[in-house]
Amino acid sequence: MSLPLIDTSPTSTSVGARRGAGLRTVADLTRYPSVRGEVVHGEMRGRELGFPTANMAQDAVGTVPEDGVYAARVIIEGRLYDAAVSVGDNPTFEGVPARQIEAYLLDVSLDLYGKQMAVYFVERIRGNVRFEGLESLVAQIAADVENVRHRLAA
């Protein structure tokens, strides 16, 4: 029995996934920890900072790695995307009710609310840090995104 192919056409993937990442079937991703769940509305902080994220529902199932920022592959409706993913309680902000999984999909802008999303954690970039201000947080997110882009393109 063969596993289904992932749509890796230029219209459905980010630049890094098209540049020889070699992922053609779901089986190629199974070596990574993963979680699957519904995309839900969040606090909109990512959008306000210029990095809109797909927030995973709290009842997601799978294996979530330790808190931090990750280079990840995300599958939504059979399409593969590169993503920078944050796992944790967002230490810069007060009152975050629970551990969050937030995926910033590189080079796409999609309405994902209510859709099922699978996140495959490819590589840990760094641990979570509390930032003193939004300017330093935004600068670090931008650096993280470039780091993720580079690592997933390799």
Report the distance separating Cα 151 and Cα 147, nearest Å: 6
Query: pTM of this prediction?
Result: 0.79
| Architecture of the domain whose range is 15-153 | Beta Barrel (2.40)
SS3 79: strand
What ranges do the domains of the chain cover? Answer: 15-153
Strand stretches in 2-149, DSSP E: 34-40, 54-56, 61-62, 68-76, 79-88, 100-105, 116-126
In the chain, DSSP finds a helix count (H) and a strand count (E) of: 3, 7
Closest Cα partner for 108 from 127, 135, 80, 77?
80
Task: Tell me the per-residue pLDDT of 26-64, one tens digit each, with 9 for 90 and over.
Answer: 566 778 899 999 999 887 676 777 788 999 999 999 998
